[in-house]
Structure 1
């Protein structure tokens, strides 16, 4: 059993944040294996380089995971785990959205601070 979406999100987030923790990266890459080489949303998520890419590819991975859960046999031993993966990935999607919202809010505050400084200390050119 694997949690490809979570590991791929970790790798993509490491790319976006510039994290260089090689032990974490190697563990995630090892767990993902061949999924990193494909053209699907998991590989794209792992190689994402922006928050927008993370959100887009995570959304696509969620669609695939929802289809996997819908097609799964409820009596299968993996069924509960697959449903649990879906819950965890949806939770990660909400957390990622909060991070992006927080970053956009911070960006807006920086703009406000910039304008306030120019209002308080006008520059004559």
Structure 2
């Protein structure tokens, strides 16, 4: 078994951040071989944090359904539950990243306004 959601998330974040680590991309693509469809594909090909969040949410729904449909006596059950915990944690990390980015943008806007208030431009 593999953590498809995590590998797809890594690819999506590499896209968003402009990371060009060929080795990491190839590893993730190998892990995802045969599983690039639905939210996993959307997550792996995301180009914005908004897309990452949307596809990660959909992947979580699918994973929750998969865990719910698995018999607790199935040897894979605990792994699937662990995967669910890891993906939920990743979802919180992505939300923090988005919030931090928004705070940076707000701060830049404030700095811009203060600069113009301090040094008015006459046109």
> TM-score scaled by structure 1?
0.97
Shift of 1:113: 0.1
Specify which of 41, 44, 50 is matched with residue 43 of structure 1. Answer: 41
Shift of 1:119: 0.4
Corresponding residue pairs, total = 123
Match of 1:75 in 2: 73
1:23 aligns to 2:23 (yes or no):
yes
Q: Deviations over 1:67-125 (max 9, x none)?
A: 00000010011100000000000000000000000000110000000000000000110
CA separation in 2, counterparts of 1:5 and 1:63? 11
Q: Which runs of 5+ in 2 are unaligned?
A: none
Deviations 1:24-43 (A, max 9, x none): 0000000000112x2x1001
Q: Residue 107 of structure 2: which of 95, 109, 122 is its match?
A: 109
Q: C-alpha offsets along residues 43-82 of structure 1, whole Å, 9 cap, x if unaligned? A: 1100000000000000000000000000001001110000
Unaligned runs of 5+ in 1: none
Number of the residue aligned with 2:14:
14
- Tell me which stretches of 4 or more aligned residues in structure 1 moved more than 2 Å: none
- TM-score, normalization by structure 2: 0.99
Q: Describe the SS at the equivalent of 1:58.
A: helix
